[in-house]
Homo-oligomer: A and B are copies of this chain.
């Protein structure tokens, strides 16, 4: 009597791959991939080979997505779901360690980037070689620029400045302001600290046009 009475046995409302993808946000391609590697093999196929997922399949998919979200590899996810392999809590602890490492590394990189950007924002359109030299000096070399390098950059900057029209200067100032407006107070402070570390004393003040 019901609309589209599905097979009664064991409640098997079967999902098509596209429906499942739409409902879970997992791509069709990913679902096929999980099938191929044996991580999530649909319980059935229809007569022409189309995948049909059952509710338990869907449940496994949810678990898969949750574990994958913790950064486990698909191989690890498979081992956890199948009860093989190490204590999953140990895996989660390792993930925690890795995430904390990643945070530290990313924060260090953020600091360096702010420093370099701070130094660059103090320059007027440095030439590419100059810029690369600056980056090189700040990172690979792990030390501030030498006074001679700096003097040369300053001189070249002065030259470039002198060749700019008032309009161009105004545009540069606007650009810089737009960028500064996007930064938080904390980021600006960090940028200043980074610049201070790179440049010799007395170079901290922005050349307010």
Number of copies: 2
Q: Are B116 and A92 in contact (CB under 8 A)?
A: yes
Indicate if the CB atoms of B96 and A132 lie closer than 8 Å: no
Q: Is the CB of B140 within 8 A of A66?
A: yes
The reply to whether B128 and A99 form a contact with Cβ atoms under 8 Å apart is: no
Q: Are B89 and A99 in contact (CB under 8 A)?
A: no
CA gap between A138 and B133 in the complex, in Å: 48
With A89-B120, A96-B114, A117-B92 in contact, do A135 and B63 touch (Cβ < 8 Å)? yes
Q: What is the number of residues of chain A that contact chain B, defined by CB distance less than 8 Å? A: 43
- Mark interface residues in A56-75 (1 if CB within 8 Å of B CB, else 0): 00000011011101110000
Query: Which residues of chain B are near A138, meaning CB under 8 Å?
Result: 66
Contact B117 A96 (CB under 8 A): yes
Contact A106 B103 (CB under 8 A): yes
A178 to chain B, nearest CB (A): 11
Interface residues of A in 128-150 (CB under 8 A from B): 128, 131-133, 135-136, 138-141
Nearest chain B CB to A119 CB, angstrom units: 10
Interface segment out of the listed A10-18, A31-39, A80-88, A153-161: A80-88
Residues of B within 8 A of A50 (CB): none
CB atoms of B139 and A66 under 8 A apart: yes
Given contacts A67-B135, A70-B135, A88-B128, 10 further A-B pairs with CB under 8 A are A62-B141, A65-B140, A66-B136, A66-B138, A67-B132, A71-B109, A88-B131, A100-B110, A102-B106, A103-B110
